[in-house]
């Protein structure tokens, strides 16, 4: 046991991450054995559909949580991005490529808004989230005149953007998602931005007194989150076509759960992109598996909740023992 | 001195990987003040925590009032009459003084808490101790000193027979310490057994009857205070003599240029019209009582807090400092009095903390140049003799003195010319203190200029080339080391300004 | 080590107890679908199914996946009951699922994909959104799984993927409400000196079935009013104003139709919107276009007490769907009447049609209807079976 | 240093600031009422006030409860979905299983206490961050609610049917006039909980935990117990809110309820509860809730399209908190 723990790879990833990987694999085996026709590509593709947008949300919120903040406007903002850009596409004839850019732009704007209020005006992130959640829903409904927006079908001329998710049976989205995860991991661990974001999550005042412009970096975390939420919107519509104004809240919890399950600490300062990715895959696999077992989504929520509690508790215990 | 009220015999306590207490014995008599001394980490606090039930002992016996006892929590200890006044203030800022004193044993009227009676009782208690505090005051509005008094009042209100003072004077001003001593003498007269933990040698001589010294979790010996010298005690603590005398004369050349000039600085109530100059290679001591506004002045200069008015000149040039960022750009570094809160990022490694203020220099393209970072931090670990298993160690795992060195390294990496040391040796044990002093002297020799804020008179007199004294937010005096004496400084520090 | 073992044990036992909590219930989702079938079967006995033709499709050992829009309202519960009844009768296996809310489009798409992966003999789908399912329908067709749409059709479905649609014409159903409500208000409108107001509360402006009903109601009122020589104006929610047959001019209108859509589909917001309209002095009629909206009107009325059945003294409200609250209100004279669909029959028909397809028989679309009911005809044999709780 | 005068004046300013915050929020409430009444004649009707009160009970009750975890420096996100879960469970037992109404209500309350207890244990004993622990129980209660009710929407007995007596708890009609009994209950509960917060051990230690948990532990207080109690109170009030919700809205649907907690917490924070703990009052929370409820119910009255309402609610929320932040900033200098 001790030997495994001191293996360099294990040490780098963290023991709990390895366990989480094990949980993921066990879950797959479990569902394959007990679920209806679970083995095979279609199920995995379907689970991945769910993992993409949730994954981008989770990646985004990981940055915010790393600063010790929280953002639960991500779900509604994702819908707002998809609605505003989709409405431009369907009603104003904006080209698809530009619409995708608009989607990312809307997400970024909300990121700037949230980040500015949190970092420069010291409004508690909780309040900011609550406000921007309402604003995102409102803006989306005003912009679309309270209409749901359906993005073009894959068969149509404008449907090329769906290739971002998959071409034939090849999961292009997975590749893109993993590339983004690697980029996020590099930003978090290898760049100044990441260093400051994590450090200020751990001890903001100490970083400020080191002569660092903490406001700028704290805001940046929210902006990165916003950008990723904008991207999440693209993957949402590429997989699920239609978005409605006034919704999206339900994805907040799952995105935060995926992130925290992976070992990112709610108190800030500790974040693991690898963990987030595994966490998201667990949730996505779970939702697919639960359906294959003919259970309702309710069980997915409950089990997700329990896994998060156990995972975080394991981290709490591990940390306590270390100190 | 009366009969023995408390005996701790052969106490053993293990923490994972550490033998924290190794068969330690200790006794307290009625009506004595018994000093418990030792460097940081010697096991004093652990011993007292075992006594009051915060930790569970692994072996050994505690005999209290003739019976063997084992307290399972502070509450049990309290009700038996063993109470502790903690080093860190354990106040609940949002509650009133009376509510704090009676927390956990409120008077009740039916199911309601009888706040009126609590206020009355608190008042009586304060009268008994001759302390002037309003029981209905919110705790966070009191000065640190008053808060400490409340802690003591709280301890006494438990009908205590044994009171443990864990470094009670650390946060007190000289006058408050006097008050404290008066109270302690009073308690001694009432035949209470008092344990007094402190680092301050002078106090030990003044107030205690016996001294027990611990080192590395073991019992070293017990002396009668009157019959021993400071050196004896220090010898027992560290095994070598390291007591240094005050600096005799300034080390700064007469014609040394002014590197920092502050004029008419105002920042709230605590910084009013402060002006001074700092010369190259100088250690400028900032003395004064707790709450005199020294830290506030430093923070205002550094841009950590907003200032209302005043000019700052660096090397003769006027600069605008609105944030720590600006200050750092001007070559100022600030080592906070509260390392844990303002100095280090505990979840980061030694290397990462070292480059915290300089990271832009260790960036290659988009990425942090971790190799260069490691090299530079290793360099300073070596040159400052920081004791860490590796530069990848999280700073949270280092001792206080070594954490301080990491913070110093952070500013040295930045190559700051002006360094503000705010209480640089607070909470650092004697051996490490000396190293910090040596380091500061060396920095000054190398041409760095240092502002040192300290509440320890001996430290001020030992290190400073010149001393600025503050009182209630105003500068009340400036004195060269040659003329400085404890009395002279104290005079200025308590000078009333109308 | 001891501590570690202990903590691990704790984790495991925690997980186990919590899981056991779910595990103990693990048989419920299956029975959740069957339980109502047996319990609620009583009110809707064999004489139901007015819309289905009686041809018996003998079931083989078939497995069908039924996906409803949500489980929220009793409408869907009735539909599921119908599905299960018929399945039992025909001896086929059905598995009913559906998202928690009609707005959970993504969840429903996942469920549809999942259903396809289960490789059933057929899928019955009540799509939350007309566009979101198209890809999945294509997949189903590629795999040769027949799909039957019920409740709502999917007009743009890939050719050949949907074998039959069993749906109510929501536009016509909305018009039914207008046809029944308008005559009762007619005298009052005729005698009114100032413009009168008819309110409409829609839970949302995005679901096709709700908007169709809403528009059907508006357009019918306009048509009837015009026949009487009255001018109508539509105000309120943009979508409805822009998509009705004629939005009119508020200043010169004799009848103002005010359309309200709450900011979110929650009950209390529906009620708030309803009370705003009910509070207006010139309001004479109300229409709630689904169960939530109709119940919102009733909730708002709790404080206002303006609803009734006498047009001279009160506001007349028409609802949609059934459920104990609306039924109670109609019985007690709070609500004038409502339109109900026949979810039970629809559920039954869906299974029947699926079985037929599996048997290789040819099928065609089955239109179902909206039935107007009020206190006078609630007990009628043609209506009673459609009034689910 | 011997003068007490300096801290004393400070003290007064703090008290006035706390009262001040409440006072400002109260002014906002009055201002909103005046504004809506001026713009919309219908708003002035007695029945409108009744509606606003009706729709405020459940949020107000949740806010009263959640004030306690907030003051400990935590949060309880599970109250919204919890409310629906309790209401579904109680309603299911009454409607589908034929339990007497009082038994169903009791069961709902019991369940709410159990979930509160679970939150407390997760936070206090297992040391999970409150945000996270209650986020998980939020998901869990959402799932449980659906499962307990077999995923059915439940309509509690409607007025006029047997078993509808529980509606009279919140509203009775005397001589044709409706009396908002529920509001009296809410006020009574505010008084009771304000008493609990300020004059009993539970309240005292709740503040103490939020102020300085370590110090509270060292004072020999059974912090774990009192920390759990804060969450149990929050849970219990979510249970009471569930009954109020059922009485007002009759039909409860599984899968809803997410978002209720934000309204309650937002109300509490607007009412002066500090997000970092130690500070807050039950009365303030109630006033804060009315800001949110008035916006929610008032905006439709001034003819504003629904989508604008959300934007305005969001902006007002930030505005309310910003005012407080600006004021503190000014005081600090």
Interface contacts (C, D; CB < 8 Å) = 124
Q: What's the confidence (pLDDT) of residue B292?
A: 80
Which domain-ending residue is among B177, B210, B238? B238
In this structure, what CATH number is given to the domain that contains residue B342? Answer: 3.40.50.300
Q: How many domains does chain D have?
A: 1
Answer yes or no: are the C-beta atoms of B191 and B5 closer than 8 Å: no
List domains and CATH numbers for chain C.
31-168+342-369 (3.40.50.2300), 171-340 (3.40.50.2300)
Average pLDDT score over residue span A32-59? 90
**Domain check: are B319 and B401 in the same one?**
yes
Distance from the Cα of D273 to chain A's closest Cα (Å) equals 12
Q: In B61-86, which positions are buried (b, 16+ CB within 10 angstroms) versus exposed (e)?
A: ebebeeeebebebbbebbebbbbbbb
Mutate to test the interface with A, among B300, B347, B374 (most CBs of A within 10 A): B347
Is residue A117 in some structural domain? yes
Tell me which chains share at least 3 CB pairs under 8 Å with chain C: A, D
Judged against a pLDDT cut of 70, whether residue A297 lies above it is answered with yes
**Domain check: are B44 and B169 in the same one?**
yes
**Domain check: are B178 and B296 in the same one?**
no
What is the C-alpha separation between A136 and A141, in angstroms, rounded? 9
Residue-wise pLDDT tens digits, D266-322: 889 888 888 778 888 999 999 999 988 898 888 888 877 777 878 888 888 788 778
Residue-wise pLDDT tens digits, B375-403: 999 998 988 888 888 888 888 878 777 88
Range of the domain at B23: 4-238
Q: How many domains does chain B have?
A: 2
Listed by number, the residues of chain B in 295-314 with a beta carbon closer than 8 Å to a beta carbon of chain D are 306, 308
In this structure, what CATH number is given to the domain that contains residue D195? Answer: 1.10.3470
Helix D201-211 and helix D46-71: axis angle, to 10°?
60
Binary contact (B324, A323; C-beta < 8 A):
no
**Tokens matching residue D90:** 């109680």
Binary contact (A192, B368; C-beta < 8 A):
yes
Q: What's the confidence (pLDDT) of residue B217?
A: 83
> Is residue D210 within 8 angstroms of chain B, CB to CB?
yes
Is residue A265 in some structural domain? yes
Is residue B95 in some structural domain? yes
Is residue B244 in some structural domain? no
Percent pLDDT > 90 in chain B is 29
> Is residue A310 within 8 angstroms of chain D, CB to CB?
no
Judged against a pLDDT cut of 70, whether residue B290 lies above it is answered with no
3 state DSSP class of B148: helix
In this structure, what CATH number is given to the domain that contains residue A69? Answer: 1.10.3470
Q: Give C-chain residues touching A320 at CB under 8 angstroms.
A: none
Give residue for tokens 């306690």: D68
> Is residue A66 within 8 angstroms of chain B, CB to CB?
no
**Domain check: are B211 and B346 in the same one?**
no
Q: How many domains does chain A have?
A: 1
Is residue D15 in some structural domain? no
Q: Give D-chain residues touching B157 at CB under 8 angstroms.
A: none
Is residue A31 in some structural domain? no
Is residue D4 in some structural domain? no
Cα separation values, D144 from A300, A302, D46, D60, Å: 11, 7, 39, 24
Cα dihedral C81→C87→C93→C99 (10° resolution): -30
Averaged pLDDT of chain B? 85
Residue-wise pLDDT tens digits, A122-174: 888 988 998 999 999 999 988 988 888 999 988 788 888 988 888 888 899 99
Distance from the Cα of D297 to chain B's closest Cα (Å) equals 36
| Nearest partner of B495 among B483, B482, B479, B480, judged by Cα | B479
Is residue B412 in some structural domain? yes
Residue-wise pLDDT tens digits, B31-69: 999 999 876 667 888 898 899 888 888 999 999 988 999
Tally Cβ neighbours within 10 Å of residue B182: 12
Cα separation values, B20 from B12, B57, B314, C8, Å: 8, 10, 49, 27
Percent pLDDT > 90 in chain A is 56
**Tokens matching residue B453:** 């804020």
Of the candidates B74, B111, B175, the beta carbon closest to that of D200 is on B111
Interface contacts (B, D; CB < 8 Å) = 87
Which domain-ending residue is among B205, B238, B271? B238
Is residue D13 in some structural domain? no
Is residue A16 in some structural domain? no
Judged against a pLDDT cut of 80, whether residue D324 lies above it is answered with no
Is residue B251 in some structural domain? no
Give residue for tokens 């999961």: A171
**Domain check: are B359 and B468 in the same one?**
yes
What is the C-alpha separation between B344 and B398, in angstroms, rounded? 11
Is residue B246 in some structural domain? no
Q: E strands of B167-270, at which residues?
A: 193-197, 210-215, 218-224, 258-267
Residue-wise pLDDT tens digits, A262-281: 889 888 888 999 999 999 99
**Domain check: are B438 and B290 in the same one?**
yes
Give residue for tokens 């200098």: D333
Binary contact (D322, A123; C-beta < 8 A):
yes
Q: What's the confidence (pLDDT) of residue C49?
A: 40
Judged against a pLDDT cut of 70, whether residue A208 lies above it is answered with yes
| Confidence category of residue D4, pLDDT binned at 50, 70, 90 | very low
Which domain-ending residue is among B208, B238, B268? B238
Is residue D107 in some structural domain? yes
Is residue D17 in some structural domain? no
| Inter-residue long-range contacts of C235-238, CB under 8 Å, 24+ positions, other chains counted | C235/C259, C236/C200, C236/C260, C236/C261, C237/A146, C237/C202, C237/C205, C237/C261, C237/D305, C237/D306, C238/A145, C238/A146, C238/D305
Q: What's the confidence (pLDDT) of residue B142?
A: 82
What's the gap between Cα A184 and its chain centre?
A: 12
Give residue for tokens 């053993």: B12
Range of the domain at D173: 25-332
| Confidence category of residue A318, pLDDT binned at 50, 70, 90 | confident
C187 CB burial (10 A radius; 0-12, 13-18, 19+): exposed
Q: What's the confidence (pLDDT) of residue D210?
A: 92
Q: What's the confidence (pLDDT) of residue B487?
A: 77
Q: Which residue of D has its CA nearest to B77?
A: D220
Judged against a pLDDT cut of 50, whether residue A222 lies above it is answered with yes
Q: Which residue of B has its CA nearest to A209?
A: B324
**Domain check: are B128 and B267 in the same one?**
no
**Domain check: are B289 and B415 in the same one?**
yes
What is the C-alpha separation between C345 and C331, in angstroms, rounded? 23
pTM for this predicted structure: 0.85
Range of the domain at A142: 43-313
Q: In D161-191, which positions are buried (b, 16+ CB within 10 angstroms) versus exposed (e)?
A: eebbebbeebbeeeeeebebebbebbeebbe
**Domain check: are B175 and B277 in the same one?**
no
Tell me which chains share at least 3 CB pairs under 8 Å with chain A: B, C, D
Q: What's the confidence (pLDDT) of residue B388?
A: 84
| Nearest partner of C137 among C118, C156, C165, judged by Cα | C156
Q: What's the confidence (pLDDT) of residue B7?
A: 92
Q: What's the confidence (pLDDT) of residue C16?
A: 44
**Domain check: are B232 and B263 in the same one?**
no
Phi, psi of C66 (to 5 degrees): -115, 125
pLDDT per 10-residue tile (average), chain C, 389 residues: 44 42 37 37 38 50 90 83 91 89 86 89 91 89 92 87 90 93 91 91 85 93 92 90 88 92 81 90 92 90 88 92 89 92 90 92 87 90 83
Residue-wise pLDDT tens digits, D194-247: 999 999 999 999 999 998 888 888 787 889 999 999 999 999 999 999 999 999
Binary contact (A146, C204; C-beta < 8 A):
yes
The residue among C57 and A111 whose pLDDT is bigger is A111
């Amino acid at each position: 046991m001790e030997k495994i723990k001191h293996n360099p790879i294990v040490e780098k990833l963290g023991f709990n991450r390895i366990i989480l990987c094990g949980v993921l694999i066990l879950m797959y085996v479990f569902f394959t054995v007990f679920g209806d026709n679970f083995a095979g590509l279609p199920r995995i593709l379907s689970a991945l559909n769910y993992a993409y947008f949730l994954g981008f949300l989770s990646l985004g919120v990981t940055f915010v949580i790393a600063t010790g903040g929280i953002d639960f406007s991500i779900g509604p903002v994702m819908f707002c991005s998809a609605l505003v850009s989709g409405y431009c596409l369907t009603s104003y004839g904006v080209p698809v490529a530009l619409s995708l850019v608009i989607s990312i732009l809307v997400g970024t704007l909300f990121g700037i808004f949230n980040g500015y209020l949190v970092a420069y005006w010291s409004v508690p992130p909780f309040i900011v989230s609550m406000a921007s959640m309402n604003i995102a829903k409102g803006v989306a409904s005003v912009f679309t005149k309270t209409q749901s927006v359906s993005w073009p079908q894959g068969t149509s001329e404008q449907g090329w953007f769906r290739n971002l998710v998959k071409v034939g049976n090849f999961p292009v989205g997975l590749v893109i998602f993993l590339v983004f995860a690697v980029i996020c991991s590099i930003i978090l661990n290898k760049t100044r931005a990441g260093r400051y974001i994590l450090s200020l999550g751990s001890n903001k005042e100490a970083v400020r007194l080191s002569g660092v412009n903490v406001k700028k970096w704290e805001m940046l975390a929210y902006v990165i989150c916003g950008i990723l939420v904008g991207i999440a919107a693209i993957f949402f519509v590429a997989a699920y076509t239609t978005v409605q104004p006034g919704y999206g809240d339900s994805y907040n919890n799952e995105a935060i759960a995926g992130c925290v399950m992976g070992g990112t600490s709610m108190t800030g300062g500790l974040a693991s992109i690898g963990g987030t990715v595994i966490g998201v895959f667990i949730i996505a696999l779970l939702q697919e598996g639960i359906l294959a077992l003919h259970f309702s989504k309710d069980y997915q929520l409950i089990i997700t909740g329990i896994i998060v509690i156990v995972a975080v508790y394991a981290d709490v215990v591990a940390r306590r023992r270390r100190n | 001195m009366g009969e023995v009220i408390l005996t701790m015999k052969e106490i053993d306590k293990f923490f994972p990987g550490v033998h924290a207490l190794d068969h330690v014995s200790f006794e307290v008599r009625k009506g004595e003040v018994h000093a418990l001394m030792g460097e940081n980490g010697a096991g004093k606090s652990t011993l007292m925590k075992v006594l009051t039930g915060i930790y569970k002992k692994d072996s050994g016996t505690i005999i209290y009032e003739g019976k063997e006892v084992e307290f399972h929590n502070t509450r049990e200890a309290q009700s038996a009459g063993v109470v502790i006044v903690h080093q860190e203030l354990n106040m609940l800022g949002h509650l009133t003084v009376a509510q704090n004193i009676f927390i956990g044993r409120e008077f009740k009227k039916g199911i309601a808490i009888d706040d009126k009676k609590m206020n009355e009782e608190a008042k009586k208690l304060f009268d008994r101790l001759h302390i002037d505090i309003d029981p209905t005051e919110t705790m966070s509005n009191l000065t640190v000193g008053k808060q400490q008094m409340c802690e003591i009042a709280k301890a006494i209100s438990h009908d205590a027979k044994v009171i443990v003072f864990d470094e009670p004077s650390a946060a007190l001003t000289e006058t408050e310490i006097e008050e404290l001593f008066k109270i302690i003498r009073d308690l001694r007269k009432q035949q209470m057994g008092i344990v007094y933990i402190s680092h301050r040698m002078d106090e030990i001589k003044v107030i205690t009857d016996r001294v027990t010294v611990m080192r590395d979790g073991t019992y070293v010996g017990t002396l009668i205070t009157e019959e021993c010298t400071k050196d004896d005690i220090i010898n027992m603590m560290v095994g070598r003599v390291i007591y240094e005398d005050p600096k005799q004369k300034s080390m700064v050349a007469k014609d040394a240029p002014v590197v920092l000039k502050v004029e008419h600085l105002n920042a709230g109530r605590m910084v009013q019209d402060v002006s001074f100059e700092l010369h190259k290679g100088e250690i400028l001591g900032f003395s004064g009582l707790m709450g005199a506004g020294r830290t506030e002045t430093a923070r205002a200069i550094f841009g950590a807090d907003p200032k209302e008015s005043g000019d700052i000149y660096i090397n003769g040039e006027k600069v605008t400092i609105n944030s720590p960022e600006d200050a750092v750009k001007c070559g100022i570094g600030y080592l906070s009095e509260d390392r844990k809160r303002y100095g280090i990022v505990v979840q980061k490694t030694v290397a990462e903390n070292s480059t915290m203020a300089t990271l832009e220099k260790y960036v290659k393209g988009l990425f942090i140049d971790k190799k260069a970072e490691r090299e530079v931090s290793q360099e300073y670990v070596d040159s400052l003799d920081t004791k860490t298993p590796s530069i990848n160690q999280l700073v949270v795992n280092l001792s206080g003195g070594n954490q301080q060195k990491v913070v110093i390294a952070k500013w040295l990496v930045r190559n700051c010319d002006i360094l503000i040391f705010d209480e640089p040796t607070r909470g650092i044990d004697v051996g490490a203190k000396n190293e910090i002093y040596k380091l500061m002297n060396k920095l000054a020799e190398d041409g760095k200029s240092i502002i040192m804020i300290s509440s320890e008179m001996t430290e001020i007199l030992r290190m400073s080339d010149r001393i600025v004294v503050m009182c209630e937010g105003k500068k009340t005096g400036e004195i060269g080391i040659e003329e400085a004496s404890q009395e002279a400084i104290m005079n200025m520090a308590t000078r009333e300004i109308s | 080590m001891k501590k570690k073992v202990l903590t691990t044990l704790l984790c495991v036992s925690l997980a186990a107890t919590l899981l056991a909590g779910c595990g103990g219930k693990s048989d419920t989702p299956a029975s959740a679908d069957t339980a109502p079938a047996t319990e609620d079967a009583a009110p809707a006995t064999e004489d139901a199914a007015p819309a289905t033709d009686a041809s018996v499709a003998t079931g083989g050992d078939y497995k069908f996946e039924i996906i409803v829009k949500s489980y929220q309202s009793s409408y869907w519960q009735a539909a599921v009951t119908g599905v299960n009844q018929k399945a039992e009768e025909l001896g086929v296996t059905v598995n009913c699922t559906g998202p928690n809310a009609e707005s959970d489009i993504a969840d429903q798409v996942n469920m549809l994909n999942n259903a396809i992966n289960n490789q059933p003999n057929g899928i019955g789908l009540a799509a939350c959104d007309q566009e979101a399912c198209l890809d999945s329908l294509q997949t189903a067709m590629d795999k040769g799984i027949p799909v039957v749409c019920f409740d709502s059709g999917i007009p743009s479905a890939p050719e050949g993927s949907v074998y039959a649609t069993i749906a109510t014409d929501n536009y016509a159903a909305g018009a039914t409400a207008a046809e029944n409500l308008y005559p009762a208000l007619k005298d009052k409108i005729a005698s009114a000196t100032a413009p009168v107001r008819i309110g409409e509360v829609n839970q949302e402006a995005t679901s096709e079935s709700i908007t169709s009903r809403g528009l059907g109601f508006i357009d019918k009122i306009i048509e009837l009013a015009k026949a009487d020589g009255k001018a109508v104006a539509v105000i309120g929610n943009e979508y409805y104003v822009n998509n009705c047959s004629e939005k009119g001019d508020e200043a010169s209108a004799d009848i103002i139709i005010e359309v309200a859509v709450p900011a979110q589909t929650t009950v209390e917001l529906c009620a708030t919107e309803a009370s705003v309209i009910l509070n207006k002095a010139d309001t004479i009629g109300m229409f709630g276009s689904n169960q939530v909206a109709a119940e919102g009107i009733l909730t708002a009325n709790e404080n206002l007490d303006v609803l009734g059945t006498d047009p001279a003294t009160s506001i007349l409200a028409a609802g949609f769907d059934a459920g104990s609250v609306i039924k109670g209100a109609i019985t007690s004279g709070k609500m004038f009447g409502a339109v109900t669909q026949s979810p039970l029959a629809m559920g039954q028909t869906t299974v029947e049609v699926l079985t037929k397809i599996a048997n290789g028989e040819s099928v065609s679309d089955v239109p179902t209807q909206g039935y107007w009911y009020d206190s006078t005809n609630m007990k009628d044999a043609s209506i009673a079976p459609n009034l689910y709780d | 240093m011997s003068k007490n005068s300096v801290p004393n004046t400070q003290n007064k300013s703090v008290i006035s600031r706390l009262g001040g915050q409440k006072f400002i929020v109260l002014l906002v409430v009055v201002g909103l009422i005046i504004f809506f009444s001026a713009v919309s004649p219908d708003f002035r009707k007695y029945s409108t006030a009744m509606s606003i009160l009706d729709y405020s009970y459940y949020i107000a009750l949740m806010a009263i409860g959640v004030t306690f975890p907030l003051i400990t420096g935590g949060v309880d996100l599970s109250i919204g979905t919890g409310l629906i879960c309790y209401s579904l469970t109680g309603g299911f037992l009454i409607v589908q299983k034929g339990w007497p109404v009082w038994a169903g209500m009791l069961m709902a309350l019991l369940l709410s206490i159990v979930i509160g207890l679970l939150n407390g244990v997760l936070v206090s004993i297992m040391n999970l961050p409150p945000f996270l622990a209650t986020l998980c129980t939020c998901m869990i209660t959402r799932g449980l609610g659906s499962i307990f009710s077999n995923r059915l929407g439940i309509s509690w007995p409607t007025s006029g049917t047997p078993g509808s007596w529980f509606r009279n708890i919140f509203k009775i009609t005397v001589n044709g006039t409706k009396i908002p009994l529920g509001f009296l209950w809410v006020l009574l509960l505010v008084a009771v909980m304000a008493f609990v917060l300020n004059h009993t051990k539970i309240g005292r230690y709740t503040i103490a935990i939020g102020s300085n948990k370590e110090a509270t532990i060292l004072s020999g207080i059974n912090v774990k117990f009192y920390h759990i109690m804060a969450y149990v109170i929050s849970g219990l009030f979510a249970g009471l809110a569930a009954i109020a919700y059922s009485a007002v809205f009759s039909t409860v649907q599984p899968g809803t309820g997410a978002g209720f907690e934000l309204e309650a917490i937002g109300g509490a924070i607007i009412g002066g509860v500090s997000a970092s703990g130690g500070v807050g009052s039950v009365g303030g929370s109630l006033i804060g809730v009315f800001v949110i409820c008035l916006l929610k119910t008032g905006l439709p009255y001034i003819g504003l399209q629904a989508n604008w309402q959300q934007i305005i609610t969001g902006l007002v929320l930030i505005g309310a908190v910003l005012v407080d932040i600006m004021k503190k900033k000014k005081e600090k200098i």
